[in-house]
Amino acid sequence: MLSCGLFQRRLFHLARSSHFKIPFLPTLPQKPGGVAGDVNDSSTVPAEDPLHGSRHWTLDTAVSLSLVPLVGIPLVFVGPVSTVADTMLSAMLLAHCYSGFQSCIIDYVSKRVYGRIHSYAMWLLRIGSLVSLFGIYILETESDGLVGLMRRMWRRPASES
């Protein structure tokens, strides 16, 4: 019983985030304990940015909540969905994915540890989102939109029936 508790405690300590490293990305040298300066230095307050913090969380929550009716509308109505609703669904889904991937990059490829690679990952996310936005435009103008694409994917081909 005692050895089991020690084993579980050791596994917990091994699961700290400092043990999870991305092996192929170079890291910046870190100060001991991750602390800059000494105990007498005051901490630096980051500059205020309206796109971060509680406003960012509020915007992320609003985007997530807006997806609920936008996903529910095509499920309720059997006929074609309006282009505006389909475009809103596609844009909100892209914004939701962007926010989620941005949070993953901020959490796991931190600027303090990986330096410029963090900036490269953020720019790669932005470029990918712009390409996806162009894909949404093509899908909406030349086809039935996202809902039409999903219906075609889930519909059984006529040859199977």
The annotated binding site is made up of: 96, 108
Do the Cβ atoms of 37 and 120 come closer than 8 Å?
Answer: no
State how far the Cα of 65 lies from the Cα of 67, in Å rounded to an integer: 5
Q: Annotated binding residues for a ubiquinone, as ranges? A: 108
Q: Annotated binding residues for heme b, as ranges? A: 96
Do the Cβ atoms of 149 and 143 come closer than 8 Å?
Answer: yes
State how far the Cα of 116 lies from the Cα of 110, in Å rounded to an integer: 10
State how far the Cα of 30 lies from the Cα of 16, in Å rounded to an integer: 17
